[in-house]
Structure 1
Amino acid sequence: MPPVSPDDLSMPSTPTRQWVVLAGLALGVTVTNGFARFAYGLMLPAMKSEMGWNYAQAGWLNTANAIGYIAGAILTMLLIRHISPARLFAFGLITTTIALLATGLNAALWWQTLWRILAGIFGAMSFSTAGALAAGLFQGDPRRNALAIAILFGSGGGLGIVLTGATLPLMLDRFGPASWPMGWILIGIASLSFLPLGLWAALQMRPPAQSQTKATPLPLRRILPEMAGYAGFGLGYIVYLTFLSAWMTEQAAGAGFIALVWVILGLSICVSPLVWRPVLMRFNSGLPLALILSGIAIGSALPVVLPSGSALLISAVVFGLSVFMAPGAVTNFTRQNLPPESWASAISLFTVVFAVAQTLGPYGAGLVGDLFNNIGISLLAAAGLLLAGAILALLQKPL
């Protein structure tokens, strides 16, 4: 979605109030990213077992969510010219919460597909406007402004994975696979509890109508390696988050260990902005994206190449430290290499490339898992795609 200039946003007056606003926006990201997009990976083994799905059917539900995300991203691009980011964020947050609650009400595949798509549409509206709102914080302090945006995406999404990872595997183990609807209801209730602060935070930011500055044409051929690398990210990263729990369950991992791995994964995501910030600030080529994709690839392959408890824990750390930084690398590349009037169109283009690739990943990985009767092969295939994306990103030179 086209970013909004921080200068176009009225912001809360005191630093303390701005940090509270950031906390509310981050809780919104917890709902739309940590819960709506990634909690399904924890629920998948129980749902697959209870409904007798194959891997392709199980992967389809995350593909359905990604299809909704594409529609939501495009819809947001159209609506944001007429409706403020604050209202879109609030609407998306409320409707995503409703979608999460509804997911636990019916086991039929068509019902699950419907609400996964709607969670993608509504979640994209809220998630893609959250950054625009956070950009209006700490306008006179570039360091704090950058930190606020990093915290928004890293800690917001990471918190959702920590909370679901710490509770869902243990709940499913205690009450059995048939209790998966209860898991979605609990996630919906948690989302309801985050609504007041999230909605309040959005209402503190009151942007006027967006400026219609005409962007210069993008140098598409010169940024092709970066786009190809980002497509590799979309194809590969989602496989790990969709099928990790299913693979661990097949390896007879206990519920407590599955919960531990996901909590470590979420905590690593939370601290990842601090790890990668020096790299993102120093290089304006495709190198940061290539390094990040290599980290995600290593994290994806480790559990299969070295099937042990320690390797899984290391995998969660490496993957978590890298996965949410790929969008930061692309945003950083855009801001360092293109004029400000082109940032909106460039980031929108990268978003579409990512969203389309992300749509293909889960279903394709499920087909591979069914073909070999081993979802571990899909994790290795995802690692291969991520490494291919890293090699392509390395070809990207500063403009």
Structure 2
Amino acid sequence: MRAFHLSRQWLVLLGLALSVAISNGFGRFSYGLILPAMRESLHWSYTQAGWLNTANAIGYVAGAVATMALIRRVTPERLFVIGTLGTAVSLALTGVDESLTAQSLCRMGAGVFGALSFICGGTLAASMFTDSPRRNALAIALYFGGGGGLGLALCGAVLPPMLGVMGPQSWDTAWYLVGFAALAFVPVTIWAARNVAAPVSDGFPGSKPPFKRMLGQMISYGFFGLGYIVYPTFLSAWMVSHHISTALIAATWVALGVSVMASPFLWRGLLARYDSGLPMAVILVAVAVGSALPVLMPNTVGLLLSALVFGLSFFMPPSAITSFVRRNLPQPDWGAAISACTVVFAVSQILGPIGAGWIGDHTGQIGDGLLVASVMLLAGAASAALQRPLRPEESDR
């Protein structure tokens, strides 16, 4: 019976992880694959292209703030279901209207609902296997990495070949495919959410998470948001500008997705062992290296190595934040603390795409944006290295 219970729990976790395929793999990162076709068909500059992921990030901020306000009054399960379904619908609508205004609204909608889904799903995943630190750390890492990697791999395998055959004017068809795939995953995610023993709130405000003593971790998460988003937003555009073949573009993104799916097994020991900011620091160094490699090694080996290093690390900062909160704070404060960290991340994420696009327009090389992003990620690693474990007896002053 225990083995059956454990097997069912892992199936529930898989269902939760599919929501990350929707909110991140489809909702945030598929745009990077469709962007070159949209730029060519709609005659956008890099700044305009970057703006749409900035619009997505603005929506993410709004969703994170809403989650932080609602998490003690509405169950994580209900917010999770609303967010997952809303993200899928927003993606399906993205192909309807080519105007920048309509595109912005759809990208914002995907951000708002994606934040609800992502944060509340993380809270639900953190509530699993609480009697085993190693299983709990693996569950958190699998939630963030497993579903996101699956979404990336599916998009990488399907979208570049489809756009290569049908031409850039088929960008709207690409969005319909992404949206319908997301809608197909929704019933499984709803089933999973209804089978998790979610954190119970007593309806009272509870204690305030010690944000001042979490500054090292929160600042590092902000630098992560500022730097990492440049790579998935502009990697395909950089590859197209360097006349990389469609086959290599697809292979790079599939390698990225497969690496993301493998990443929880690489980092689970580090996440389970430390209460400090060390896991975040090490992970961000790896993300920084992966971000810079396409520019430093602009060949097939460099691109695939970049996908491997970046993929093995860039979905793990949310796991590091969630694990840090899980190990340092009482359970009633998890949702509020994760939401607050996500707000910091989301605000900083607003600047990354449009900033890198501006750099690309002014230097003529979008690769320069990737290098600046790498520097930001290293700054985040330095901040995380200063984060010490929290002591429950200390007050937040």
TM-score (norm 2): 0.91
Q: Is the 1:46–1:177 contact (alpha carbons within 8 Å) kept by the matching residues of 2?
A: yes
Letter of the 1:214 counterpart: G
Map 1:228-243 to 2 at 5 A.
228-243=219-234
Q: Does 1:280 align with 2:271?
A: yes
Counterpart CA distance in 2 for 1:145 and 1:332 is 9
Counterpart CA distance in 1 for 2:70 and 2:328 is 28
Q: Does 1:367 align with 2:385?
A: no
Alpha-carbon deviation of 1:34? Answer: 0.8
Q: Does 1:270 align with 2:261?
A: yes
Unaligned runs of 5+ in 2: 391-397
Counterpart CA distance in 1 for 2:70 and 2:86 is 16
Counterpart CA distance in 2 for 1:295 and 1:385 is 13
Measured at CA, do residues 99 and 339 of structure 1 come closer, stay the same or move farther in structure 2, by a change above 3 Å?
closer
Q: Is the 1:218–1:342 contact (alpha carbons within 8 Å) kept by the matching residues of 2?
A: no
Measured at CA, do residues 235 and 391 of structure 1 come closer, stay the same or move farther in structure 2, by a change above 3 Å?
same
Q: Is the 1:215–1:345 contact (alpha carbons within 8 Å) kept by the matching residues of 2?
A: no
Counterpart position of 1:113: 104
Structure 2 residue corresponding to 1:181, chosen from 147, 172, 189:
172
Map 1:142-291 to 2 at 5 A.
142-205=133-196, 207=198, 210-211=201-202, 212=204, 214-216=206-208, 218=210, 220=212, 222-291=213-282
Unaligned runs of 5+ in 1: 1-12
Counterpart position of 1:7: none
Letter of the 1:24 counterpart: G
Measured at CA, do residues 341 and 289 of structure 1 come closer, stay the same or move farther in structure 2, by a change above 3 Å?
same
Counterpart CA distance in 1 for 2:215 and 2:137 is 26
Counterpart position of 2:393: none
Q: Does 1:324 align with 2:315?
A: yes
Alpha-carbon deviation of 1:389? Answer: 1.7
Deviations for 1:143-172, whole angstroms, at most 9, x for unmatched residues?
A: 333322221111011100000011100111
What is the root-mean-square deviation in Å for CA atoms of aligned residues? 2.0
TM-score (norm 1): 0.91
Counterpart CA distance in 2 for 1:390 and 1:145 is 24
Q: Is the 1:69–1:123 contact (alpha carbons within 8 Å) kept by the matching residues of 2?
A: yes
Q: Does 1:386 align with 2:377?
A: yes
Counterpart position of 2:60: 69
Structure 1, 276-285 or 151-160: larger mean CA deviation: 276-285
Measured at CA, do residues 280 and 99 of structure 1 come closer, stay the same or move farther in structure 2, by a change above 3 Å?
same
Letter of the 2:25 counterpart: G
Counterpart CA distance in 1 for 2:349 and 2:315 is 14
